[in-house]
Structure 1
């Protein structure tokens, strides 16, 4: 319950920042968006349809798609995010940011979008639209969330040039790129994981030290040296970026000559196993 409350509050904060980016930076300067949000902007520019209405209708349809491919928990949090985004989009805009230097609005909007989606993604949700598609691609193919989302968003953003003009379409593409970069950096810095492969004659002692100090299990693999044909244990360990700062000192304290190979993990699937 504590985790649910924390995630719900974080999603509300992300939804607030998302709505601020749209109402205060993008729409006042006729900058579009990708995915469903881009369609809401086009609907507003062309037919004056309230963005909140378009957002909740189209995203409701995509959430139904999410039921088939995503966890029920993710779908619930996504619905929660869509509701709050729609509510915040209806709040009257007091001081919209109008500027002749529209590139500033595009960059500022992109940064806010990236931060808001990072908050929502970290809380196990999405903003529906292209982010649901990005979550599905990330889960099944391991492509980074921001990169997959940028692809789907550009599918909507590029044709929007016929409505908002070529220059604003380019600004929209810039805003989407900035938001994707910010989202990837945010998730890499806070939520990403690293895999560690250790080859050492003292792997069992290293595994015991990692497990004792960081409170996680370690997987031991059987390995054979190709040249020497010598059998030995290989240690495989998955950790967060936060724990990574402690991993290397622990390994080096046991065996300073250990061979350590690390890699950034883009996607982790499956249950938490006691030995991994």
Structure 2
């Protein structure tokens, strides 16, 4: 229940940031968007249809598609996000950001969009629209969320130049690129893991120290030196970026001469099985 409450609250914050980007930076400067959000902006520019109405109708359809390909948990969190985004989009706008330097609005809107989607993605949700499609592509093909989402968004953004003009279409592409980069960086920083491979005659002591101090499983692998033909233990450990700052000092305190190979990984499944 605590995790559900935390994710739900994080999605609300992400939805608020998303609505601020749309209502205060993109729409006031006639900058479009991709996916369903882009269609909501076009509907507003051409027919004055409420973005909240377009958002909830079109995203509702895509969430139904998500039921077939995504986890039920992701779909329900996405529905929660769409409801809050639609609610925040209906809040009156008091001080929209108008500027002749529209590139500032495009970059700022892109940064805010990237942060908002990062918050929602980290809470196991999506904002529906192209993010539903990006989640499906990520799950089945391993393509990064931000990159997949950028592809689907451009399908809507580029033709939008017929409505918002060529210059604003270019600004829209810039905003989408910035949001995709920010989203990928956000997920890398807050969602990625670190893997550590240690070669040391003191690996048993290192493994015990890591497990005791960080409370996470450690795996010992059997390795053989190619030239020496000697058998040894290779220690394999996966940790969060938060714990990473403590890993190297622990290893060095046990064996300053240990050979340590590290890498950043984007996805881990079944981490509890590493303590075998």
Match of 1:264 in 2: 264
> Do residues 81 (structure 1) and 81 (structure 2) align?
yes
| Deviation (angstroms), 1:183 | 1.5
**Aligned partners of 1:108, 1:233: CA distance in 2, in Å?**
50
1:178 aligns with 2:178: yes
For residues 215-257 of structure 1, give each alpha carbon's deviation from its aligned partner in whole angstroms, at most 9, with x where no partner exists: 0001122222333332222211111111000001111111112
Residues 143 and 266 in structure 1, CA contact (< 8 A), matched pair in contact too: no
1:270 deviation in Å? 4.0
Question: Do the aligned residues in 1 keep the contact of 2:27 with 2:41 (CA within 8 Å)?
Answer: yes
> Are the aligned partners of 2:191 and 2:266 in contact in 1 as well (CA < 8 Å)?
no
Q: CA separation in 2, counterparts of 1:258 and 1:200?
A: 5
Equivalent pair of 1:142/1:267 in contact (CA under 8 Å): no
User: Is the contact between residue 196 and residue 263 of structure 1 (CA under 8 Å) also seen in structure 2?
Assistant: yes
C-alpha separation between the residues in 2 aligned to 1:176 and 1:205? 49
* 1:125-140 pair list within 5 angstroms: 125-140=125-140
Partner of 1:114: 114
Q: Which residue of 2 is the match for residue 58 of structure 1?
A: 58
* Equivalent-residue separation in structure 1 for 2:179 and 2:252 (angstroms): 38
CA distance in 2, matches of 1:263, 1:160: 41
Distance 1:238 1:71 in 2: 25
Aligned twin of 2:216: 216
Q: Give me the whole-angstrom Cα distance separating, in 2, the residues matched to 1:225 and 1:210.
A: 24
Over aligned residues, Cα RMSD in angstroms? 1.6
TM-score (norm 1): 0.94
SS in structure 1 opposite 2:153? helix
Where do 1:10-29 residues align within 5 Å?
Answer: 10-29=10-29
- Structure 2 length normalisation: TM-score? 0.94
* Aligned mates of 2:169, 2:199 — CA distance in 1: 51
1:93 corresponding residue in structure 2? 93
What is the CA distance between 1:188 and its match in structure 2? 2.0
- Aligned pairs (5 A) from 1:159-178: 159-178=159-178
Structure 1 pair 197–140 and aligned structure 2 pair: CA distance change class (3 A): farther
Is residue 188 of structure 1 aligned with residue 171 of structure 2?
no
1:200 equivalent in structure 2: 200
Q: Kindly state the Cα deviation for residue 8 of structure 1 after the two structures are TM-superposed.
A: 0.8
Q: Aligned partners of 1:272, 1:128: CA distance in 2, in Å? A: 30
Query: What secondary structure sits across from 2:126 in the alignment?
Result: coil
2:48 corresponds in structure 1 to 48
Matches of 1:171 and 1:34, distance apart in 2: 12
- Once residues 217 and 271 of structure 1 are traced to their aligned partners in structure 2, the CA distance between those partners, rounded to angstroms, is 8
Tell me by how many angstroms 1:271 deviates. Answer: 6.4
Q: Distance in 1 between matches of 2:70 and 2:270?
A: 13
